[in-house]
Amino acid sequence: MSSPTAFAHLFEPLQIRGKRLKNRIMSSGHDTSMPTDNRVNEPLIAYHQARAEGGVGLIVLQVAGVHDSARYTSHVLMATDDRCIDGYRTLADACHAHGTLVFSQLFHPGREIMESADGLLSVAYSASAVPNERFRVMPRALDQATLDAIVAGYGAAARRLHQAGLDGVEIVASHGYLPAQFINPRVNQRTDGYNGDLEQRLRFLREVIAAVRAATSEDFIVGLRISADERDDQGLSEDESLAAAQALQTELDYLHIVAGTSASLGGAVHIVPPMAIEAAYLAKNAGTFKAALNIPLFVTGRINQPQEAELMLARGQADVCGMTRALICDPRMPVKTSTGDVENVRACIACNQACIGHFHKGLPISCIQHPETGRELRYGAQQPAIRRKRVLVAGGGPAGMKAAAVAARRGHEVTLCEAAAQLGGQVLLAQLLPRRAEFGGASTNLQREMELAGVRVLRNTRVDRALVEREKPDCVIVATGAVPYWPAFERGGELQVVDAWQVLRDEVPLGRSVLVFDWRCDWIGPGIAERLLRAGHQVQLAVNGTHCGENLPLYVRDQLAGELHRLGLPITPYARLFGCDDNTVYLQHTASGVPMLFEGIDTLVLCNGHQPVDTLADQLQGLTEVRRIGDCLAPRTAEEAIFEGLQVAWAL
């Protein structure tokens, strides 16, 4: 157990405009895809209430649109009429009951329009008719009447949020959204007094702040979020953002910095920086802003663990740390840390799979490690078992470990058997890929959950019918996983063919010239290719999809694509494996059917997905109750495996 005094800065209260933050931990504004009809609903309230119960000091709610043209997704919250007030009030009351302050973001995307509700392209507005690269939007320059209506919309939205009992609002000028489009001289090309020197480019934002102040009370907090650096050639630089912040600080109660821009693929990676980005990577930028400002500085940027936040605060680089994904992964992280239980915090691994990955699919967010997130109404309160059962779990991968931990917490007597010496299943391989070491944390966290729940773990123990007959469990949960799938293809000659597992385990020496064939279009193929390239092999990558990483969360994919491009890795899309001979691999273009030949190849590496290991369940038929979960049921990802572990254990 660690001492709470080790986090003295993290749990020091902060006063802002008469309001008291009980600690320096913030859940920053992030879209959840939970709202229905663009309003607060029960799932969203339960989601935030869980984090308030877990001890977070400040919750900044996701963006609230201030004008009808602010609908950047079909499920955005809107604060454009008084019908929104009751929902916000219920949410605020639920969080206030736990001593948590609640702000809402005020938002207009400008040209950054992702989608519409009916599939038709929206009319997007910006400071000027300068297009967005990422969504390929050509906006319409705001005329004065529409500009004035949007400014008034900020004020009206703030009034409604204030009336609902929220403690403040955060005006979003980050990530290249509308206020940043006015500040940016490469986007703002107006000639009407809203462009020119910095003061003129800040005119729109000053009008917004004034409208918000005029519509609320003296004790209502007004902050601003801005990208410290938009990380794009056409975006705001650190110098430009800092100058804007300095000019506006007397009108604000705090400044919140992030990084990146929605306007480009490379800049958008920083909206939710993936595992490949260094933890707490904005500490230096934060220090620069903190030293130049006289108002509190909030910072968000992959601050995953309490130790990272405490260090930034102790160094004077920030006043409040946004730890959003850390709270998605472990809603009780603040209270665990404050009570000296930090060793049992479930650490976020920044996989982006179920949080921002779900959002980009228009689905409610969750967490692969903590699937209860986003499902609080169903799984929020642990239900004790009605009857204590003897449960045997066969397989110590993510599915089996989650099932064992949840079943034991509910009161069942649980034994988990793993055939290998180590727990973790395919996580043990995933962590060996370049820049994926943190993925191993999923296994570490699940093992700790089992330990705390009192699960009996037997390693080097393969479950068979005889073992089940001896143990006499009431239920066997089969989580025996999968093995690499080798497709049927024409083979002639002596060309070496291996699979991804053999490469990662260093089981065979490989030839110099390697072709990696990637059917899954996920992390495995490009990861293997990069690993071999860095080891000195001559490598090419052929993918079955339209592009490398097609099935990955967008920001993970784009960061990976940038890295592979820098390394000069040749990538061939639309590829289907046909056959091979002594030194040639034969592929087929999936759209045209035309053959594609790769000559001079020494080794072909197959990344063709997996096939289930599913013999045990049939052996046990008629002996006891059997439940299959994870890859033995159908090979998918760690997210499905862990969720099914929760699901089956909940039903026992």
Active site residues: 177
- Give me the count of residues in the chain: 652
Contact (CB, 8 A) for 459 and 450: no
Closest CA to 313 of 302, 297, 328, 331: 297
For 353, list phi and psi in degrees, rounded to 5: -75, -50
Q: What distance, in Å, lies between the first and last C-alpha atoms of the chain? A: 32
- If we measure between CA atoms, which residue out of 88, 644, 41 comes closest to residue 379? 644
* Beta-bridge mates of residue 441: none
- DSSP class of 232: S
3-state secondary structure 319-352: CEEECHHHHHHCCCHHHHHHCCCHHHCCCCCCCC
Contacts of 608 by beta carbon, 8 Å cutoff, 6+ apart: 484, 485, 486, 487, 499, 517, 519, 520, 577
| Whether the Cβ atoms of residue 293 and residue 262 lie closer than 8 Å to each other | no
What the block records as the tokens of 479 is 């989580």
Asked if 194 and 203 touch (Cβ cutoff 8 Å), the reply is yes
Helix ranges (H only) for 424-577 are 427-430, 441-453, 465-471, 500-504, 524-534, 554-567
Beta strands per DSSP E along 238-383:
254-258, 297-300, 320-322
207-208-210 Cα angle (round to 5): 65
**C-alpha to C-alpha distance for 433 and 498, rounded to whole angstroms:** 17
Q: Which backbone phi and psi does 245 adopt, to 5 degrees?
A: -65, -45
How far apart CA 201 and CA 182 sit, in angstroms, is 6
CB atoms within 10 A of CB 60: 26
As beta bridge partners, residue 538 has 513
The residue to which tokens 């330990």 are assigned: 451
φ, ψ at 280 (rounded to 5°):
50, 40
Strands (E), 466-612: 475-478, 482-484, 490-491, 496-499, 513-518, 538-543, 571-572, 575-580, 584-589, 595-599, 603-607, 610-612
